[in-house]
Structure 1
Amino acid sequence: MESSASEMSAQALINWELAASTAARLTPPGPTLGSAEIGAAVESLRLAADISVPHVHDITGLEAARDLRDSSVLVVDRASWAKANTQSFAVMLEPAMEKLLEGRHGSMNPGAIAVSGAITGSQLGAILAFLSSKVLGQYDPFSALAENSSAPPAGRLLLVAPNIISVERELNVEPQDFRLWVCLHEQTHRVQFAAAPWLRHHMLAEIENLSGQLLGNVDSLMERATAAAKSLRDRSTAGTGPSRGAILDLLQNPEEKAALSRLTALMSLLEGHANVVMDAVDASIVPSVKTIRQRFNARDKDRGVIEKFIRNLLGLDAKMRQYSDGAKFVREVVAVAGMEGFNRVWDSAEQLPTEPEIHDSKLWLERMGLQ
């Protein structure tokens, strides 16, 4: 009886259904499209996703790109993207939630858990609502691990149609070219996980480690959250943003920082590699690629004050730095060892670059014996 209650409580620590419904309610409307336009856009994005895979294979040399049948491509709206992420978050955070519940055994009653879960679910939903209008695409390797999941064994690639259309209109670029350009990046992530079947569980273990570190001492976490929010406010008032995002200011002890360092290195590698693939594309594949790059890279200059504040809070600008740091690492390694030498990163977790190696590729090349 106690075990069953414990399991129910762990699920209730975050109300995932409320998170999804809150995100759907708060998500800003996308561009206005008629039913025929929607159908054409979905078909166009599916075609771009298919066309991009052979190009990813040619650029990366990864044989996994030849057969991606164990994952799928979905063209979704903003609310569907948010709901998909609640499912993935539930998978990623379940071990940490169970650990938190065990640490609080006997001190949390079902009523308090339900109220706390509703508050947390609402807050997460608000964050997902904000992000749902920003994300163009996302490879989700964890959806297949969710309870009663209908996703293919290796996961799914989500292409957020309203956002892709909104940005291509904002930039005034050729829609077909922009959609292919976006798909080249996103399909590279799909190929990465196909090339390294061990990667999903490795990443999940690292996320579990970091979230477990943070949630293991929830009292300390709340104190640090308050301090981080004050720090963000002070730096925003002074006109200087945080270096890595106020959320990351919560990290204090060496174990937490080491866990974050490993995740940062991995995300930098994945994002940087995908950007290198995008940048390897020339006008023979995407005719207006030069214009797309110039206009897309200039978008950040036009962000409003509120959006910049939220991006700083969530560390989204740190994510953009991951793109450039990781891309620099990939280019430097390929210049010395070729793409075949670089592709050794997909062989095992032990061959992934550390965060210091991301910033100094010679360290990784020496460790791999490729210098």
Structure 2
Amino acid sequence: MNLYRSVRAVAGASGDDAVDWRAAAEAAKASTEPGSLELDPDEEAAYARDVRDARAGVQEAAGLEFDVPDVVEIQNRHHWIDANIATFERVMAPMESQLGAFPGAARTINTGTMTVLLAFLGRNVLGQYDPLLLAETPDEDHALYFVRPNILKAAEVLDVDSDRFRRWIAFHEVTHAAEFGAAPWLSTHLESRMQEGIDALAEGSFDRNAFRELDVTMTVVEGYAELLMDHAFDDEYADLRRKLDARRQGRGPIQRLFRRLLGLGLKQRQYERGKSFFEGVTGARDVAFASRVWDHPDNLPTGEELDDPGRWVRRLERA
């Protein structure tokens, strides 16, 4: 880790855009230890086995046909930063001209902000299903990433078996692959709401409806993943969830501030609200009925239905 090189990269931010993405990537990696990728053959095979088992378990639990992405990578932290820098750049593109009266200073501040964001996430993300939203090539294959150093570190901190923890992460990320595989329209739906919201921000306004629909869709995505985990994972995992939640709550004030600024508290709320919704649906019907949420965008619940799953069940029964 070289903080001097990180600061120098941010201070040297240049170009015509609001963020110097090359400098942000360099600075984020300079301030982040990459971590080890020294896997022995048994561990490498275990990652592949976990993904295969997760696919079979999720297919059986949900009755959905899907494939895992062709791109399945075991990464270190620097690899994760490199893999995600293009996504951040695509998402921020509509606001690239917003530099104000002092473009040089604004660019440096923006680049520094993105450096902190990438470095923080690079040190904390465990696994990621990447649907490559807003990619230039619409049919570009989705990807599945495992950040090995973070998985090992989290397992150590949580005092859980690293093999079991890795397997749990694999199942969780494969549930997301199932969702996007079962609903070919989902990527486009998310992209359009995201684009509408970001375009409005770039014009100095706030599209409340676009962000509300985005929040509802992501709540469904996270809640359905939790539902499938309950039915597909071949071990009790309440202890893992409890320890992860306790670790998040117990972090220092600076880390809690980062989580709030990055919207990670919102993500936790999406988990909880989505899980509660699908528990209500399956309590009234079953997993197969809950899976109808992916048949068509109109089957997504409204914000009101998320808090009243019986209302959603009755609407789909009438459809």
Asked if TM exceeds 0.5, the reply is yes
Shift of 1:278: 2.2
Give the corresponding residue for 2:223. 272
Distance change (3 Å), C-alpha of 1:199 and 1:113: farther
Instruction: Decide which of 167, 170, 173 is 1:180's aligned counterpart.
Output: 167
Give the corresponding residue for 1:313. 261
Give the corresponding residue for 2:301. 353
Q: How does 1:245-284 map to 2 (within 5 A)?
A: 256-281=207-232
Instruction: Decide which of 150, 170, 179 is 2:157's aligned counterpart.
Output: 170
State the Cα deviation string for residues 112-157 of structure 1 (Å, max 9, x = none): 657644542332121110111111111111168247x9xx833101
SS of the residue 2:124 aligns to: coil
Alignment of 1:14 onto 2:14: no
Distance change (3 Å), C-alpha of 1:154 and 1:365: farther
Alignment of 1:145 onto 2:145: no
Distance change (3 Å), C-alpha of 1:365 and 1:120: same
Give the corresponding residue for 2:285. 337
Q: Distance in 2 between matches of 1:92 and 1:58?
A: 35
Code of the residue aligned with 1:35 in structure 2: it is E
Given that 2:132 and 2:140 are in contact with CA atoms closer than 8 Å, whether structure 1 keeps it comes out as: no
Given that 1:276 and 1:327 are in contact with CA atoms closer than 8 Å, whether structure 2 keeps it comes out as: yes
Instruction: Decide which of 54, 57, 64 is 2:56's aligned counterpart.
Output: 54
Given that 1:75 and 1:161 are in contact with CA atoms closer than 8 Å, whether structure 2 keeps it comes out as: yes
Q: Distance in 2 between matches of 1:49 and 1:34?
A: 18
Code of the residue aligned with 1:122 in structure 2: it is G
Distance change (3 Å), C-alpha of 1:117 and 1:41: farther
Shift of 1:55: 0.8
Q: Distance in 1 between matches of 2:315 and 2:100?
A: 48
Give the corresponding residue for 1:134. 124
Code of the residue aligned with 1:278 in structure 2: it is M
Code of the residue aligned with 1:363 in structure 2: it is R
SS of the residue 2:255 aligns to: helix
Give the corresponding residue for 1:83. 82
Q: Distance in 2 between matches of 1:279 and 1:302?
A: 25
Identity %: 30
Q: Distance in 1 between matches of 2:136 and 2:46?
A: 29
Q: Distance in 2 between matches of 1:108 and 1:164?
A: 41
Give the corresponding residue for 1:74. 73
Give the corresponding residue for 1:6. none
Give the corresponding residue for 1:35. 38
Distance change (3 Å), C-alpha of 1:200 and 1:361: same
- Using the size of structure 1 for normalisation, the TM-score is 0.73
State the Cα deviation string for residues 272-296 of structure 1 (Å, max 9, x = none): 11122223356xx23x635434433
Alignment of 1:157 onto 2:149: no
Shift of 1:108: 7.7
Give the corresponding residue for 1:243. none
State the Cα deviation string for residues 239-268 of structure 1 (Å, max 9, x = none): xxxxxxxxxxxxxx5xx2222211111111
Alignment of 1:24 onto 2:36: no
Shift of 1:355: 2.1
Q: Distance in 1 between matches of 2:54 and 2:148?
A: 17
Unaligned segments of structure 2, at least 5 residues:
1-13
Q: Distance in 2 between matches of 1:25 and 1:342?
A: 45
SS of the residue 1:63 aligns to: coil
SS of the residue 2:317 aligns to: coil
Given that 1:14 and 1:117 are in contact with CA atoms closer than 8 Å, whether structure 2 keeps it comes out as: yes
> Number of paired residues?
306
Distance change (3 Å), C-alpha of 1:34 and 1:363: closer
Aligned-residue CA RMSD (Å): 3.0
Distance change (3 Å), C-alpha of 1:162 and 1:42: farther
Q: Distance in 1 between matches of 2:100 and 2:156?
A: 50
SS of the residue 2:271 aligns to: helix
Give the corresponding residue for 1:231. none
Code of the residue aligned with 2:176 in structure 1: it is H
Q: Distance in 1 between matches of 2:154 and 2:313?
A: 38
Code of the residue aligned with 1:135 in structure 2: it is V
Q: Distance in 2 between matches of 1:205 and 1:10?
A: 28
Give the corresponding residue for 1:195. 182
Give the corresponding residue for 2:4. none
**Most deviating of 185-194 and 350-359:** 350-359
Code of the residue aligned with 1:265 in structure 2: it is V
Shift of 1:315: 2.1
Distance change (3 Å), C-alpha of 1:35 and 1:370: same
Give the corresponding residue for 1:250. none
Unaligned segments of structure 1, at least 5 residues:
1-8, 221-252
State the Cα deviation string for residues 299-325 of structure 1 (Å, max 9, x = none): 224211111111122221121111111
Q: Distance in 1 between matches of 2:164 and 2:58?
A: 16
